[in-house]
Amino acid sequence: MKLALQNILHDRGRFSVTVLGVSFAVFLMVFQGSLLSGFLQAASRLIDASDSDIWITARGVQAFEFGTALESRVREMAAGVPGVTDTSRVCMAFAVYRTPVGKQQVVALVGADPGVGRRFPVPDRLESAGEMSPDAVLYDVSDRKQIDVNELPAEVEINRHRASIEREIRGYGAFLGVPFLFTSYRNAVRYMDSGPEQGMYILLRVDQSYSISQVQQNLKQRLPEVDVLTQDEFAHKSRMYWTIKTGAGGAILTAAVLGFLIGLVVVSQTIYANTMENIEEYATLKALGASQAFVARIVLSQALICGMIGSVLGLLAVIPSINYAKSLIPWIHAPWWLPGAMVVPSLAMCSLASIVSVRSALTVEPGRVFRA
Amino acid sequence: MPKLFLGIEEASVSFGQGEARVRALRDVSLTFEKGTLSLLMGPSGSGKTTLLSMLGCLLSPDKGTVFVDGEAVNELSEAGRTVIRQKKISFVFQAFRLFHSLSALDNVALGFEIRDAAASGREEMARDLLLQFGLADKLNLEPNELSPGEKQRVAIARALAGNPPILLADEPTASLDAEAGKNICKILRRQVDDQGRTVVVVSHDPRWEKFADRTITLCDGRVEEQVGVL
Ligand SMILES: Nc1ncnc2c1ncn2[C@@H]1O[C@H](COP(=O)(O)OP(=O)(O)O)[C@@H](O)[C@H]1O
Ligand SMILES: [Mg+2]
């Protein structure tokens, strides 16, 4: 397939446009893919961080960020259902935060009982908590600027209550645009000025000898006025809300699809122009006895060689870009397999883009070699 | 009657429809013996190229039969005729038709690749052929760096790659100066004398007559005259 390679080298100007088109498509597909993946992850991050089996929410709650209070009897009734071994409360509310120097800022305050799970960021549960009062308040590193404390612990105010920021944590950045603060449930309801018996979410753990779905059915019957979801169901619901119902996922995907389409058009135009420029040579090849497969392979190889080079360049550009973007979009996340996996649609794009060119090369009449 | 090695029987070809219909060949029968060089002459538009295209399995007659190596090929499918070309027939063109992006060596090596994709040592074989044609110092030059005479020698080397028994040339010397043209005449003659190939040359160039075993003159799609041994 030296001919394919040499044709590329001889038409460098045009094929660098092809390569650029592929790079552009790969860049956008990987970048948007990372946005989507990070967005999905962030949309259910706190739900996934809990160790519970079942979440009880107020009827119709779509996402973790939009809970409302449950009556306290819900927790008592849930605790009485056979198989339920543990109940914990989680609440979330927006609050006014005052930095040590007196600047005000809206924050999302999350409080949780110690039983929610070891990965859930609450002071007396966090594995790395060390010496920390249970009423300590934690914030994510990505919100450092807005939290604006110089040293820890720092005395701040939350809804006019004194609070102590004690720890910076990692990996709990969110996309709401307001910083998250994490503390114990008891402490959070104090800041929220709501009764301690209320909760927004009741998290249940189910004894291993019981089937989770059986317990879930049972709970649904006894608590018909609330939603009873397994952890996976609530995580899924939350992700679907943020990606589908808000249209954010569609917007992200649209950009990726656009990248694919623009790449497709650029690649097909340039490959086609080169094929037509060399159409007499394809006729010569066929006159000399080259099979259809031989001819098709040359055109396709040109597209795939450009596809491979373009993919590598696109990946070389997108990986540092994603790392840079992390400072602006903390939740962006490229799964390890994503960059490699995007080579597949990029090569598929190149193959698709060369269909018309392959057809032209295949249908050229070898008989024309004596004319022209 | 023994099967023809290369030839046509009662072949007619026309192009276009109705008023615009052109009868390029009218009931032509011709045979080309193995190991001969035949020259096809005749005025422009007399059907020479059409005849050569038919012999080269590039065109099927409207009626009549085309024989290549004893086989009637006009009923074959496009793929079948491609295989005949791949195995048995090669071409030399007035405009050379080299692959512009490939060196002389790679042009010839591609000729080998088309004829036998699995063959090893294609480059060595290509080099040998080019050395025979006095192109030792041009192996790595691209077509646009070669003189017309050199291009035609590379094209002939490419045509001979894979050792096809039949060589069809349409005006192979029309783009060359006298010196280079004579060189090509000699090279093609040698293919007949030394290799036993069957060569058909279309040309207006009277110089070819003394290299040809036979001269066929076409006029208006008919054979007007045949001179020389059959
Ligand atoms: N593909 C074609 N379409 C229409 N007319 C053609 C075609 N090929 C050849 N002809 C016509 O057939 C006649 C014979 O052409 P050709 O075989 O090329 O003659 P020559 O090679 O002797 O000049 C000419 O009148 C030419 O115009
Ligand atoms: Mg002609």
Q: Chain B residues with CB-CB distance to A under 8 A?
A: 49, 52-53, 56, 58-59, 79, 82-83, 85-87, 89-91, 93, 95, 97, 99-102, 106, 109-111, 114-115, 117, 158-159, 170
The total of other beta-carbon atoms located within 10 Å of residue B196's CB is: 11
B45: Cα within 13 Å, side-chain hemisphere:
4
**Long-range contacts, stretch A154-159, CB < 8 angstroms, 24+ apart:** A154/A100, A155/A100, A156/A97, A156/A98, A156/A99, A156/A100, A157/A96, A157/A97, A157/A98, A158/A95, A158/A96, A158/A97, A158/A98, A158/A107, A158/A109, A158/A191, A159/A95, A159/A96, A159/A191, A159/A192, A159/A193
Q: Tell me A3's DSSP state.
A: H
pLDDT at B1: 46
Asked if residue A27 lies in contact with residue A210, where contact means CB atoms within 8 angstroms, the answer is no
Contact list in B for residue A2 (CB cut-off 8 A) is 102, 106, 109-110
Mark yes or no for CB contact A281/B97 under 8 Å.
Answer: yes
- Please report whether residue B209 resides in a domain: yes
- Please report whether residue B192 resides in a domain: yes
- What does the block give as tokens for B207? 């110089």
Q: Phi/psi at A194 (nearest 5 deg)?
A: -110, 165
- What does the block give as tokens for A24? 């552009």
Min CA distance, B94 vs chain A (Å)? 8
Helices (H), ranges, A193-247:
212-222, 231-240
* Residue B60 Cβ < 6 Å to ligand 1: no
Q: Give residue A272's Cα distance to chain centre.
A: 36
Q: Sheet containing B63-68: which strands, arranged edge to edge?
A: B22-32, B6-15, B63-68, B71-72
Helix (H, G, I), strand (E, B) or coil at B219: strand
Find the radius of gyration of the CA atoms of chain A: 29
Distance B205 CA to ligand 2 centre (A): 13
Q: Which residue of A has its CA nearest to B87?
A: A289
Helix (H, G, I), strand (E, B) or coil at B49: helix
- Please report whether residue B146 resides in a domain: yes
B118-136 pLDDT, tens per residue? 878 999 999 999 999 999 9
- Please report whether residue B158 resides in a domain: yes
Distance CA B170, CA A150 (A): 88
A362 shares contact with chain B (CB less than 8 Å): no
Taken in order B48, B50, B51, B53, is the CA torsion positive or negative?
positive
* Residue B44 Cβ < 6 Å to ligand 1: yes
Residue nearest to atom 20 of ligand 1 (CA): B45
* Residue B50 Cβ < 6 Å to ligand 1: yes
Is B93's pLDDT higher than 90?
Answer: yes
- Please report whether residue B65 resides in a domain: no
Asked if residue A144 lies in contact with residue A158, where contact means CB atoms within 8 angstroms, the answer is no
In sequence order, the 6+-apart residues with CB closer than 8 A to the CB of A121 are A49, A110, A138, A169, A172, A182
Distance A275 CA to ligand 1 centre (A): 27
Is B70's pLDDT higher than 70?
Answer: yes
* Residue B47 Cβ < 6 Å to ligand 1: yes
Tokens 């040293």 correspond to: A151
Asked if residue A108 lies in contact with residue A92, where contact means CB atoms within 8 angstroms, the answer is yes
- Please report whether residue B155 resides in a domain: yes
Tokens 């990987």 correspond to: A30
Cis peptide bond upstream of A345, omega within 30: no
Q: Which residue of B has its CA nearest to A5?
A: B101
Q: Total domain count for chain B?
A: 1
Distance CA A29, CA B194 (A): 62
Q: Which residue of B has its CA nearest to A8?
A: B101
Give 10-residue mean pLDDT values along chain A (372 residues).
94 96 96 95 93 94 90 91 93 91 92 87 63 81 88 89 89 85 90 72 95 95 95 96 93 94 96 97 97 96 96 96 91 93 94 96 95 74
Give the DSSP H or E segment for A316. Answer: helix A292-325
Chains A & B: contacts with CB separation below 8 Å: 76
Instruction: Taking residues B94-104, report their average pLDDT.
Output: 97
Helix (H, G, I), strand (E, B) or coil at A266: helix
Tell me whether 0.90 is exceeded by the ipTM: yes
Mutate to test the interface with A, among B50, B55, B58 (most CBs of A within 10 A): B58
- Please report whether residue B68 resides in a domain: no
Residue B111 is part of a domain; what is its CATH number?
A: 3.40.50.300
B27-54 pLDDT, tens per residue? 999 999 999 999 999 999 999 999 999 9
The full DSSP string for B126-176 is HHHHHHHTT-GGGTT--GGGS-HHHHHHHHHHHHHTT--SEEEEESTTTTS
Asked if residue A173 lies in contact with residue A143, where contact means CB atoms within 8 angstroms, the answer is yes
Distance CA A299, CA A20 (A): 18
- Please report whether residue B135 resides in a domain: yes
Give the DSSP H or E segment for B81. Answer: helix B78-88
Domain that holds residue B160: 33-60+77-228
Q: Give residue B23's Cα distance to chain centre.
A: 23
Asked if residue A263 lies in contact with residue A25, where contact means CB atoms within 8 angstroms, the answer is yes
